[in-house]
Amino acid sequence: DAKTTQPNSMESNEEEPVHLPCNHSTISGTDYIHWYRQLPSQGPEYVIHGLTSNVNNRMASLAIAEDRKSSTLILHRATLRDAAVYYCILRTTIQGAQKLVFGQGTRLTINP
């Protein structure tokens, strides 16, 4: 399975932008890059995904390197509610089923 590498933890201040990096040097041409986040004792929540082009939605932006071997999740203005573990995941499809391979993620702390 394709793997991702993320920093174990990051810290930022409220109302500042946050850039969460992810390396995925073994990505294949059909793997999508997904980001999910998980609050304590809850299920993961979808944040954003992309294949080649940068993506924006109401929660965040995803910047994908031209060679697709790395990506960055951007929270434009962090709030205390953004404190969570963020997972960068490569999504593959096996026999029509999605397969998300989770790593350990980045624990994001937001300081007031």
Partner 1 sequence: DGGITQSPKYLFRKEGQNVTLSCEQNLNHDAMYWYRQDPGQGLRLIYYSQIVNDFQKGDIAEGYSVSREKKESFPLTVTSAQKNPTAFYLCASSPLAKNIQYFGAGTRLSVL
| Site residues for partner 1 per CB under 8 A | 32, 34, 41-46, 49, 87, 91, 95-105
Q: Give yes or no for a contact between 75 and 58, defined as CB atoms under 8 angstroms apart.
A: no
Task: Decide: residue 103, CB within 10 A, 0-12 exposed, 13-18 middle, 19+ buried.
Answer: middle
Output 15 or 45, the one with its CB closest to partner 1. 45
Q: Which is nearer to partner 1, 18 or 86 (CB)?
A: 86
Query: For the sheet containing 55-56, what is the strand order?
Result: 18-23, 70-75, 61-64, 55-56
Q: Which is nearer to partner 1, 16 or 45 (CB)?
A: 45
Joined together, the tokens standing for residue 21 give: 């990096």
> Residue 29 or 112: which CB sits closer to partner 1?
29
Q: How far is the CB of 43 from partner 1 (least distance, A)?
A: 3
Residue 44: CB minimum distance to partner 1, A? 5
Q: What is the smallest separation between the CB atom of 14 and partner 1, expressed in angstroms?
A: 25
Q: Is the dihedral of CA 102, 21, 74, 40 positive or negative?
A: positive
